[in-house]
């Protein structure tokens, strides 16, 4: 693969009076994974990489972030960053989430592992495996029993996921975590006590692939049944209630992300599209339920959209077509494709965004919408079925 295939400049006209120039470059390829990359999580200056062999590796981002802030002396130069294995598990990792003082990982075997930093972040120490034995015992002692039938003639405690845990989402306050699974259930956990607080047994009609938690208290789930659902605890209620069903995709929905400060929901699906959703009820003011409407459909991928990452007005989509597309939300919810990052040898399975301002302290989602001279950079991390992670510098000017 020639270096030029991983670098380019795209100029897009946004309106008759303004334009945006986007420069992108692959600044590092992180190799060494023996299995495909299944999850990414950015925690400060660290990038955690999970793979299907159950390993979690740490890649220091401080070197890469320094490269983002510097002008490249060669348009084809790439850096090398060493990694270390910080945890080894006995089950393939499906998802990673950073908690501030550690990580949470979900697994093929239906469990969730909670990790804390140890050795100055050089390794992860296992804090607990969810559900804990104490949580299972508590569930069984509840009035009416704590068993649910998971298949014919087989029952498990309701706190268990009985299939792969596909995604995790932390509440903005860090007090709660939500997990979803191929078993079609949505579970809410209290992180301080590591307890399962609630389980919605049949949240969807098919496997659930993604979950995100919004600042206004809504929780969104996406499923192979082709729908996205919104949930929340209404005033005076302790249980999650279904408040909205979004149907726009014509195939299984694989990924979700929140942008625009949590006001815009993005969904990516096997129909090769990304749909942007916004609340028509006024951002849930006064605790009202959302009424989500589709405001845009982003097309361009040649195959299924598998993952999403968003920050501010920028959303990135990773696809089975081996590319990452970088989109920006403009005025009147109009979207522009800023870049197509092409360099992976396999489907892009996971994405993460890190801020790395060059000219300001924001990413290319900059938030300085009135400035025409701002030039901002973001670090886009993409993980693929080719077992590599690529770090891309994406710089946008003229926004």
The residue extents of the domains of the chain are 22-70+82-282+289-356+375-396
The one-character DSSP state at 90 is S
Which of these, 367, 386, 384, 366, lies nearest to 376 by C-alpha position?
366
Token code pair at residue 86? 């910080």
Report the run of H or E that residue 176 belongs to, with start and end.
Answer: strand 176-181
**In this predicted model, which residue has the larger pLDDT, 57 or 142?**
57
Contacts of 71 (CB under 8 A, 6+ apart): none
- Check whether the bond before 162 is cis (ω within 30° of 0): no
Token code pair at residue 173? 């306050």
Residue tagged 């380019």 (tokens): 8
Give yes or no for residue 210 having a pLDDT over 60. yes
Contact between 246 and 255 under an 8 Å Cβ cutoff? The reply is no
Strand, helix or coil for residue 219: strand
What average pLDDT does the structure give for the chain? 84
Express each pLDDT in 139-198 by its tens digit.
878 765 566 655 555 567 889 999 999 999 999 999 999 999 999 999 999 988 999 999
**In this predicted model, which residue has the larger pLDDT, 155 or 32?**
32
Give yes or no for residue 311 having a pLDDT over 50. yes
pLDDT for position 204 = 98
Strands 37-43 and 292-298: unpaired
Express each pLDDT in 239-297 by its tens digit.
999 999 999 999 999 999 999 999 999 999 999 999 999 998 764 444 577 889 999 99
What's the whole-number mean pLDDT along residues 222-235? Answer: 95
pLDDT for position 141 = 80
Give yes or no for residue 360 having a pLDDT over 50. no
Contact between 326 and 341 under an 8 Å Cβ cutoff? The reply is yes
Whole-angstrom Cα distance, residue 232 to residue 238?
10
State what percent of residues in the chain have pLDDT above 70. Answer: 78
Specify the fold of 22-70+82-282+289-356+375-396: Methylamine Dehydrogenase; Chain H (2.130.10)
Beta bridge partners of residue 277, listed in sequence order: 265, 294
Whole-angstrom Cα distance, residue 285 to residue 123?
43
Express each pLDDT in 81-135 by its tens digit.
567 899 999 999 999 999 988 999 999 999 999 999 997 777 899 999 999 999 9
């Amino acid at each position: 693969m020639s270096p030029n295939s991983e670098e380019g400049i795209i100029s897009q006209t946004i309106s008759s009076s303004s334009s945006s120039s986007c420069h992108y470059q692959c600044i590092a390829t992180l190799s060494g994974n023996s299995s495909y990359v299944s999850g990414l999580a950015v925690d400060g200056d660290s990038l955690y990489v999970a793979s299907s062999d159950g390993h979690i590796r740490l890649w220091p981002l401080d070197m890469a972030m320094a490269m983002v802030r510097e002008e490249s002396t060669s348009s084809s130069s790439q850096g090398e960053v060493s990694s270390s294995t910080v945890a080894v598990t006995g089950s393939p990792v499906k998802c990673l989430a950073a908690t501030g003082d550690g990580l949470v990982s979900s697994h093929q075997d239906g469990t969730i592992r909670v990790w804390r930093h140890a050795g100055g972040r050089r390794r992860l120490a296992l804090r607990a495996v969810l559900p804990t034995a104490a949580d299972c015992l508590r569930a069984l002692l509840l009035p009416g029993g704590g068993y649910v039938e998971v298949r014919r003639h087989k029952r498990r405690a309701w706190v268990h996921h009985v299939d792969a845990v596909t995604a995790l989402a932390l509440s903005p306050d860090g007090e709660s975590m939500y997990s979803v699974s191929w078993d079609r259930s949505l579970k809410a956990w209290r992180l301080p006590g590591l307890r399962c607080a609630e389980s919605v047994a049949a949240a969807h009609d098919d496997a659930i692939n993604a979950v995100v938690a919004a600042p206004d208290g809504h929780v969104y789930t996406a499923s192979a049944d082709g729908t996205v659902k919104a949930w929340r605890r209404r005033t005076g209620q302790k249980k999650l209630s279904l408040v909205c069903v979004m149907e726009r995709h014509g195939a299984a929905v694989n990924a979700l992300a929140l942008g625009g400060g949590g006001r815009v929901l993005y969904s990516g699906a096997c129909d090769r599209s990304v749909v942007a959703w916004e609340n028509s009820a006024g951002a849930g003011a006064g605790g009202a339920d959302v009424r989500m409407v589709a405001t845009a459909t982003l097309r361009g991928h040649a195959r299924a959209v598998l993952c999403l990452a968003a920050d501010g007005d920028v959303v990135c989509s990773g696809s089975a077509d081996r590319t990452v597309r970088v989109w920006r939300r403009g005025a009147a919810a109009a979207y522009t494709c800023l870049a197509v990052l092409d360099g992976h040898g396999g489907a892009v399975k996971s994405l993460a965004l890190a801020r790395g301002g060059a000219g300001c302290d924001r990413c290319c989602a900059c938030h300085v919408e009135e400035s025409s001279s701002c030039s901002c950079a973001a670090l886009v991390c993409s993980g693929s079925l080719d077992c590599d992670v690529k770090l891309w510098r994406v710089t946008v000017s003229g926004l």
